[in-house]
Chain A
Amino acid sequence: MKRWLIAFLMLLLGRGQKPRQLPPPDPVLDAEPPRSPGSELLVVVLLLGAAAAAIVFVVVYALSANTQLLGLSMGGALVLLAAVFYVIAKRLVPQAESDEPYPQLIHQPEQEEVARTFEESASRLTRKRLLVVAAGTAGTALAVAVVTPLASLGPILDTDRLYRSPWSRGRRLVDAAGKPLKAGEVIERSLFSAFPEGADPKDLAAPIVLVRVEGDDLDLPEGRENWAPGGIVAYSKICTHAACAVSLYRAPLNEPTAPKPALICPCHFSTFDPAKGAEVLFGPAGRPLPQLPLEVDGDGYLVAGGDFSGPVGPAWWGVRKR
């Protein structure tokens, strides 16, 4: 408290006394008047503009929170600020170039010593080959580590799991909500998705698409005569090209004047004929969608009649071996 009081008194006493005038030092830069006295005024105007834009931001925020106005006001304030810096740098700060020659090297012997120290620093590496081998090991291991995630692209040796499927004879078809599907619900000109009851719906081979094909149009490959009860055909929903979900169904209302029915993948427009065992009509897919044989159980529910006609999903080197 006492110290504060003394400090305050000293401050009062000191007031009014002019500081000792030092003679002004010689200017380093050539004395040059500002190019235009308007520059300072311009800076002031720009600063006030930036302040105004910032205030507008606060007002807009309080009133409406319109994102466009918010961006415009804050962005405007920053742009004005940038302009201020530009004007100050270009017009108010004196522009002068000066250069200073490097001094002569004055520590010649020490430099030579440093260079020799550097050269001799490798002299302790007597087992150079061992070190090279170790470095090579580290590099190889690192390279392997970088390449390892490629294994996630798919099985290389054990390709059996690419053939595995949750479908087997008697397994009921359920919709996405888990409700078993009745054959009567599958109406013509409509696309249905289904999954095996009680299995993981995220399994690649789980999802299938169902459509009802008009009786006379059905022309399935040999041996599949009993696979489509009531004209209902089921195919894997996973496109054989790049594994997208086949979710488009071209279902003409009046077939003679429109393109014929087709299942289509939305990614690259691979087009499959549902009446002919999902034969490829167009697009990059290399083979038909695998078909799932269907049966109707005693209660009218749709059940699988077995497993798919081929491997599900995009092709790989072993896809045609079975």
Chain B
Amino acid sequence: MLRASLVLLAALVLVPSAAADGRQLYLEGCASCHGVDARGIEGRGPDLHGAGAAAADFYLSTGRMPLAEPTDQPLRADPEYSRGEIDQLVAYIGSLGGPPIPDVHPEQGSVSQGLELFSENCAGCHHMTAAGGIVTNVVAPSIWGATPTQVAEAIRVGPYVMPHFGAGRIDDAELNSLVSYVELTKNPDDRGGWALGHVGPVPEGMVAWLLAGAVLVLVARVIGNRAR
């Protein structure tokens, strides 16, 4: 009881101060596009009310924000801010309303259900191996570099031109499954030893046969004699 009230007290004291520090960082680094009041500036950056901690954490921790040019596609980069600064900014943006950072547990998910959901909802753009691809005018990034939390955030938020998926479409259990499948694609079991884009053992075997066939022809050429 005592501990719970202490935590509550700490939250009441610390969170507003983190949000206040975040507000300071926001004014320095983000306000030029999103506006001093975070209401957005037409043609530069959107209103951040309702964006939520999920969007802020996704964009900042993947280095997609801040953006050099407002019309650029935000792409993964080294984060501009330290983890502490990101937490402060996330606290500030989160205080403006919107979805919280999703609590994701890939170890509780089912990879096979995740594969089904991925093929239905994600593979069109990101490809079955999560290697990424293209959408007209836009790059669909590889998901291999994303942490489970970042993947879950992207699903809930729908960054840049990606559709978003609420709990009505993909509930929290399905989210766990989806993320567990993405985790699998990062380090799949390449039995052939030469991944070739992680598309499975069949192309690996195919390439092995072709190479072996060429080598056999060469060997036969070297050791054989021409009939006279």
Contacts and interface: CB of A to CB of B under 8 A. Distances in A.
Given A252-B160, A253-B46, A259 B138 contact: yes
Nearest to B70: A257
Contacts of A71: 193
Interface in B42-62: 42-46
Interface in B177-228: 191-193, 223
A282 B136 contact: yes
Interface string B69-99: 0110100000000000000000000000000
A187 B164 CA distance: 9
Nearest to A188: B164
B44 A253 contact: no
Nearest to A71: B193
B162 interface: yes
Interface string B144-170: 000000000000011111111110110
Given A187-B168, A189-B163, A262 B158 contact: no
B70 A67 contact: no
Interface string B84-125: 000000000000000000000000000000000000100111
Contacts of B123: 247
A91 interface: no
Contacts of A193: 120
Contacts, number: 81
Contacts of A253: 46, 157-161
A26 interface: no
A172 to B, nearest CB: 18
B7 interface: no
B44 to A, nearest CB: 7
Q: How large is the interface on B (under 10, 10 to 19, 20 to 34, 35 or more residues)?
A: 35 or more
Contacts of A67: 191-193
B27 interface: no
Given A68-B193, A86-B223, A269-B134, A251 B162 contact: yes
A227 to B, nearest CB: 22
B40 to A, nearest CB: 8
B74 to A, nearest CB: 9
B139 to A, nearest CB: 11
Given A187-B168, A257-B43, A252 B136 contact: no
Given A189-B163, A189-B164, A248 B193 contact: no
Nearest to A72: B193
B136 A259 contact: yes
A190 interface: yes
B161 A185 contact: no
A243 B44 CA distance: 38
B8 interface: no
B14 interface: no
Interface in A226-285: 247-254, 256-259, 262, 264, 266, 269, 271, 281-283
B5 interface: no
Contacts of B135: 248, 250, 264, 269
B137 to A, nearest CB: 4
A204 interface: no
Given A190-B163, A269-B134, A248 B124 contact: yes
Contacts of B133: 266
A51 interface: no
Interface in A59-88: 67-68, 71, 86
B46 to A, nearest CB: 4
B163 A251 contact: yes
Contacts of B159: 253
B158 A254 contact: no
A174 to B, nearest CB: 15
A275 to B, nearest CB: 15
Contacts of B160: 252-253, 258
29 contacts: A67-B193, A90-B223, A187-B168, A189-B158, A189-B163, A190-B163, A190-B164, A190-B165, A193-B120, A248-B124, A250-B161, A251-B162, A251-B163, A253-B46, A253-B157, A253-B158, A253-B160, A256-B42, A258-B71, A258-B73, A258-B161, A259-B136, A259-B137, A259-B138, A262-B136, A266-B133, A269-B134, A269-B136, A281-B136
Interface of A: 67-68, 71, 86, 90, 176, 185, 187, 189-191, 193, 247-254, 256-259, 262, 264, 266, 269, 271, 281-283
